[in-house]
Structure 1
Amino acid sequence: MTAEVHQLPYASRLLLFLTVVAVGVKWTEPSVAAAGDAPPGKIAIVGAGIGGSSVAHFLQQHFGPQVQLDVYEKDTVGGRLATVTVNKQQYESGGASIHSLNLHMQDFVKLLGLKHRRELAGKSAIFNGEQLVLEETDWYLLNLFRLWWHYGMSFLRLQMWVEEVMEKFMRIYKYQAHGYAFSRLEELLHSLGGDTFVNMTQRSVAESLLEVGITQRFIDDVIVAILRASYGQSVLIPAFAGAMSLAGAQGNMWAVEGGNKLVCSGLLKLTKANIIEAAVSAISLHSSEGKTFYQVHYEDEEGQGSSFYDIVIIATQLHDSKSSITFQNFDPPIAEFPGIFHTTVSSIIHGYLNSSYFGFPDPKLFPFASILTADAPTIFFNSMDNICPVNISGTFRRKQPQEAAIWRVHSRHPLEKQELKTLFRSYYSVQVTEWQACPDYGSVKTLPPIVLHDNLYYLNSMEWAASSMEMAAVAAKNVALLAYNFWYHDLGKIDQKDLMHKVKTEL
């Protein structure tokens, strides 16, 4: 469903869709004195990416416009949704693609009066360092025949597996529409797919695919390429995260005209949130007359400051070693979050592709807009695609392969000069952005907490199940409902069992 960035390249029908112990953190139901019938006065949100901007919208939706929302963001609004400018045109350098089943993102676009960007068709291929092992054509039936000829029924078994997972995952929208929330990721996953979904966070996608009859060859040639393009990681990532990424292989992808980051700025403008350009350094717990509240300490250009809040939502990474937020006065203390984030380097390059590297000496004959890659020692990039600007006019056309075009290359490390010369005959400019794109799913095996303390929530814990823009929006809706239900003591809406039956009886 992503991220904010993890960065998704344009790859036609191969496009992509779209774990820490609960660290001993304990939480209790908020006391009556802490909430009462009065709504919270002030809520702090740390981070203004898609998660932070979404939760601001959902919080206002539930608590009402009278609640003051302060959003702390030290960098730019949008977080891992971002653009770079080449020749006075903007191009996505961060989270680029949204799946047609992403219902929250669809709703945001309608609410804000935004539009879907016009899509330009383009074919994709998979490169193994020596040759193209799979090439897309203009003929759908021929593509199916090639998949069957090379891989037998694997592609159909993959489709059936992914569709089964997604059918269950889509239940989350019904649950959230009825106001249900979950205090732990395990509870949320179990409500959607039972023990199967929870177990999918503990076992690899490769293991799960082999079990349903998908061949090792198909995994090595196709699945690896898709996961390298989406997460920059291997088929050893958890099966649930893998399923969310693979769901787009058969899906329709879209983007927002003008840039996906407009969703973030639009939601914050709509809620009239107070954006504070500062870095949060600490969150301290205080109590007075039985009421729990928080002091958010921050640093901006004018120095250090702090403010008090009834509720705090952390919509930024706590796991990354670069996180500088400390927690003060908590007993027991909030433990550190093990696990690291995976670095993805996005290089936006204006230049002439070296099609000979891919087996096409004549650049005019190179037919592909996107190249995915297998896992081979000679390959130094994960994927590359010929991208279009975020504003596409009716007369816009994709550059011919022999012309200078704008390419986005994803790699684990910044490209060296020799690597750039390998991919391009010549180039005019290179703009590099390093993203902490998504969790390194091999660094931990268990899921982090959502509730850190009474009225203190960690929205980005969802990334450790799967990372995408829609997963952040789903997490935001869950946290907003969780905060609302806890505040007003509606515990019947939290961590309920057999929700499918409950929802049906409420209709």
Structure 2
Amino acid sequence: MLELNLFFHSVWLSIAIAVTDIPPPQSIAVIGAGIGGSAAAHFLRQQFGGDVRIDVYESEEVGGRLATASIDGQDYEVGATAIHPLNLYMKGFAQMLGLKELQLPNEVQAVYDGEEFVFEDSDWFIVNAIKLVWRYGFDYLRVKMWVERYLHRFMRIYQFQSGGYCFTTVERLLHAVGGDGLAQMTRHSIDEALQNVGIGQRFLNEMITPVLRLSSGQSVNINAFVGMISLLRADSDLWTVGGGNKLVCSGLLYAAKVNLIKGTVTSIHSKRRPQRNGEFVHLYEVNYTEGSVAGHNTYDLVILATALHPGKSPIRFHDPAQPISVHSSRYQEKVVTLVAGCLNASYFGQKHSEPFRPTAIATTAHAGSLILAASVAVPVTAEPDRQPPSCARVWRLLSPEPLAAAEVSRLVASPQAVREARWLAHPRYSPSDEASPFILHRHLYHLNAVEWAASTMEMMAISAKNTALLAHHRWYWQLEKVDQDTVAHGQKVEL
């Protein structure tokens, strides 16, 4: 036994000595300049230093699904809007880049079931509490405690990442920070999870489902983890970036000193090139088109930070020796329609003589409504009004399908201006046992694998940090912090 231990020790020592001579990568490609790709470029620069060349490919606007649209002389978010106060990476990015945090106003919320408002906020907290208890018992408190319990576990990811720990799959990440309880949340629905803690059907139908329709366009059949993340949208103290959330992306790219290539990546090929010593170096050839011009570059590492979904992604992968398998899923399209005008109260069963108070309206699954939600739109260029007027200037209508002009007129009386934006927001969520790997090939990584669990700005930033750490540790064979379930004692959270 002693001889065997000495043998393994000598083998490990020889590997450790060998890997100290590994030269750093010369070039890294990041495909996609949304929040995931931009954050990845930032973290890759931190991990690999200033000498490596980082090329970021983006065929459209920097920011990806963080986008704004102009209507009536103001810019409004048409992609991801709100940032939670516990989103530590987004908060850190804004502070590092000198961007202003704009607090979003507290909304007067209402839930529409197709005939009437089954719940409407009061101006008084105590009145709201009484209304919630009267209609739903203590389900609101039970759900709040359930969310906080699992959120507290997930927040440990910052402690892991500050210590340099990373994971090869989404499931391993969730298991490390939250044990079996958190890892299992992707394998069953939020409906099942909340019923198991005693939440009644009325609360599921009238409170949980409307929030999920707003965040994911789906109902309580989604996995419990994305459901838990979605329910954070009901919290107060949400904020947005002054000038638009997309400024985080452009700021991170500028700070990381990347080369931005405005092209569409068409294929990625694994290549082996012989060296003078007889060994082979493994590279990736990235082929792209920029307008009508085709080009290609070679890289040591490639980070995919773009959505891959059947029939939509133009990227092909090829390795003559080893198949490159990419997990893809159908994405959920959302349509945001900005409309200047006054919301039609009669559509929601309200009399014109009554004051129309709600500034955010969610719908139940049985509402039969044209929309998933409607809310007062907040300009990105100015501090929002703390108390928006009852007849708001611009409404943000969220729907699963484009709204016809007649349908817009039913929702907004005499619309003065209309602007529509469509985007593939996130995968179609469902409980799944399938592992979502971050590693696709030797040094080819898929940052968006995290979306099968949940897709938010902060989740993409967390995945970017994980991918940058994974790429670094695997390049230098520093594997002691890959797929570990514990962090070093006394490790502090430092962003």
The aligned residue for residue 8 of structure 1 is: none
Matched, 1:245 2:230: yes
- 1:104-503 equivalences under 5 Å are 104-288=89-273, 289-362=279-352, 365-376=355-366, 378-393=368-383, 400-402=389-391, 405-442=393-430, 446-499=434-487, 502-503=488-489
Q: Which whole-Å CA distance do the structure 2 matches of 1:112 and 1:338 have between them?
A: 33
Classify 1:98/1:330 alpha carbon distance in 2 versus 1 (closer, same or farther; 3 Å): farther
Which blocks of at least 5 consecutive residues in structure 1 are unaligned? 1-29
Q: Which whole-Å CA distance do the structure 2 matches of 1:421 and 1:270 have between them?
A: 45
Q: Structure 1 residue 185: deviation in Å?
A: 1.1
Match of 2:67 among 71, 74, 82: 82
Which blocks of at least 5 consecutive residues in structure 2 are unaligned? 1-14, 274-278
| Aligned-partner SS, 2:477 | coil
Contact 1:338 1:444 in 2 (8 A): no
Matched, 1:61 2:56: no
Residues 403-446 of structure 1 deviation map (CA, whole Å, 9 limit, x = unaligned): 6x111111100012332122111112221111110100139652
Q: Structure 1 residue 486: deviation in Å?
A: 0.9
Identical amino acids, percent of aligned pairs:
42
Q: Which whole-Å CA distance do the structure 1 matches of 2:18 and 2:302 have between them?
A: 18
Contact 2:188 2:432 in 1 (8 A): no
Classify 1:363/1:168 alpha carbon distance in 2 versus 1 (closer, same or farther; 3 Å): farther
Classify 1:45/1:82 alpha carbon distance in 2 versus 1 (closer, same or farther; 3 Å): same
Q: Which whole-Å CA distance do the structure 2 matches of 1:240 and 1:116 have between them?
A: 27
Q: Which whole-Å CA distance do the structure 2 matches of 1:361 and 1:139 have between them?
A: 23
Q: Structure 1 residue 274: deviation in Å?
A: 0.6
Contact 2:186 2:431 in 1 (8 A): no
Classify 1:276/1:503 alpha carbon distance in 2 versus 1 (closer, same or farther; 3 Å): farther
Q: Structure 1 residue 151: deviation in Å?
A: 0.5
Q: Which whole-Å CA distance do the structure 2 matches of 1:363 and 1:503 have between them?
A: 64
Write the letter of the residue equivalent to 1:93. V
TM-score scaled by structure 2?
0.92
| Aligned-partner SS, 1:485 | helix
Q: Which whole-Å CA distance do the structure 2 matches of 1:38 and 1:364 have between them?
A: 72
Query: Rg: which structure is higher?
Result: 2
Q: Structure 1 residue 36: deviation in Å?
A: 4.2
Indicate the RMSD between aligned Cα atoms, in angstroms: 2.1
Residues 144-194 of structure 1 deviation map (CA, whole Å, 9 limit, x = unaligned): 111111101111110110001100000000000000000111110110111
Q: Which whole-Å CA distance do the structure 2 matches of 1:497 and 1:393 have between them?
A: 43
Write the letter of the residue equivalent to 2:382. I
- Report the more deviating stretch, 410-419 or 216-225: 410-419
- Report the more deviating stretch, 448-457 or 276-285: 448-457
| Aligned-partner SS, 2:173 | helix
Moved over 4 A (4+): 30-36, 396-399
Contact 1:117 1:391 in 2 (8 A): no
Contact 1:44 1:72 in 2 (8 A): yes
Write the letter of the residue equivalent to 1:370. A
Q: Which whole-Å CA distance do the structure 1 matches of 2:120 and 2:345 have between them?
A: 15
The aligned residue for residue 21 of structure 1 is: none
Q: Which whole-Å CA distance do the structure 2 matches of 1:483 and 1:209 have between them?
A: 37
Classify 1:232/1:36 alpha carbon distance in 2 versus 1 (closer, same or farther; 3 Å): farther
Higher relative contact order (CA 8 A, sep 6+): 1
Q: Structure 1 residue 31: deviation in Å?
A: 12
- Report the more deviating stretch, 374-383 or 74-83: 374-383
Q: Structure 1 residue 195: deviation in Å?
A: 1.5
Classify 1:195/1:402 alpha carbon distance in 2 versus 1 (closer, same or farther; 3 Å): closer
Q: Which whole-Å CA distance do the structure 2 matches of 1:239 and 1:411 have between them?
A: 23
Match of 1:100 among 85, 90, 98: 85
How many residue pairs get aligned? The number is: 474
| Aligned-partner SS, 1:323 | coil
